[in-house]
Amino acid sequence: MRHTLPIAPQFYVTAPQPCPYLDGRMERKLFTALQGEHAETLNDTLSKQGFRRSQNVLYRPSCAECSACLSARIRVADFKPSRSQRKAQRRNADLRREATSPWATEDQYTLFRAYLDSRHAEGGMADMDIFEFAAMIEETPIRSRVIEYTGNGPDGAPDLAAVCLTDVLDDGLSMVYSFYDPRRAQDSLGTYVILDHIEIAREAGLPYVYLGYWVPGSPKMGYKARFSSVEVYKDGVWQDIGDPERHSSAMHPLSTAPIAEQVARIHLPDQRPTRR
């Protein structure tokens, strides 16, 4: 039996740039390429350590004096919807779900542009054209799905209401990016899409739904803490979020370890032994 070395990707750090979540701060990311025959194994392993996927890159915040961003996930077996979340389910009971391969369409891009123009007109994606949008959806080296939610428009014709790019991990669903029709903001479509992903995960026997980063002190991220059974990845372990107020977004010069130390602490997957 011949044993191979662990998968050993190279890690890099981005240059500092303005933080999209907390005003007046600078962010930087630790990242590595996601490619080759072991891409799914690497994605599964690093997702459990707070990393997120963007196309063929895995990244995790690594800011010099801030550790506010916490990866969040929902424990499916323990989740119980709140009263307002049950209302969101009822308001969107007319929607039909369809899961497809990651392929971008003009209808998706039209909805995406309307969503950005309404909610994130000054965000980092504001200038994304249809080719960049297609790359975001289609450039994935792992098992991904585009999940569309369609209702009926005023004329009775099908009307695309929400879309989510979703990765299938070995222990859950990772909601990479979602967007919805801003004209239906009162219907809590963002909440509904998360609730539906919890149902999809439950039906598939997957224990978690990964929500991306929760940032205490950031109003745009506050909705994630309103779901029950949320865990956050903090101090190298997954732990129940508890009282959201106990998590601080305060800056401190010792809040993050040096990059070399961070990389040394990352657990990497081993390749399966090869029989000869």
Alpha-helical (H) ranges within 139-240 are 189-204
Same domain? For 64 and 169 the reply is no
Answer yes or no: is 272 within a domain.
no
DSSP run (H or E) holding 110: helix 106-119
**How far is 185 from 62, CA to CA, in rounded Å?**
33
Same domain? For 189 and 110 the reply is yes
Same domain? For 80 and 217 the reply is yes
Same domain? For 229 and 144 the reply is yes
Answer yes or no: is 5 within a domain.
no
Same domain? For 109 and 23 the reply is no
Same domain? For 101 and 178 the reply is yes
Same domain? For 226 and 148 the reply is yes
Answer yes or no: is 276 within a domain.
no
pTM, rounded to two decimals = 0.92
For residue 1, the model assigns a pLDDT of 39
Q: How many domains does the chain contain in total? A: 2
Same domain? For 196 and 160 the reply is yes
For residue 107, the model assigns a pLDDT of 96
Q: Are 50 and 42 in contact (CB under 8 A)?
A: no
Question: What does the pLDDT look like over 25-76, one tens digit per residue?
Answer: 999 999 999 998 899 999 999 999 999 999 999 999 999 889 999 999 999 9
Low-confidence ranges of the chain (pLDDT < 50): 1-4, 273-276
**How far is 14 from 74, CA to CA, in rounded Å?**
29
CATH label of the domain that carries residue 94: 3.40.630.30
**How far is 145 from 206, CA to CA, in rounded Å?**
15
Same domain? For 185 and 79 the reply is yes
Same domain? For 37 and 101 the reply is no
Answer yes or no: is 126 within a domain.
yes
For residue 271, the model assigns a pLDDT of 61
Same domain? For 95 and 134 the reply is yes
Domain that holds residue 234: 72-240
Same domain? For 92 and 155 the reply is yes
For residue 217, the model assigns a pLDDT of 87
At residue 105, the 3 state secondary structure works out as coil
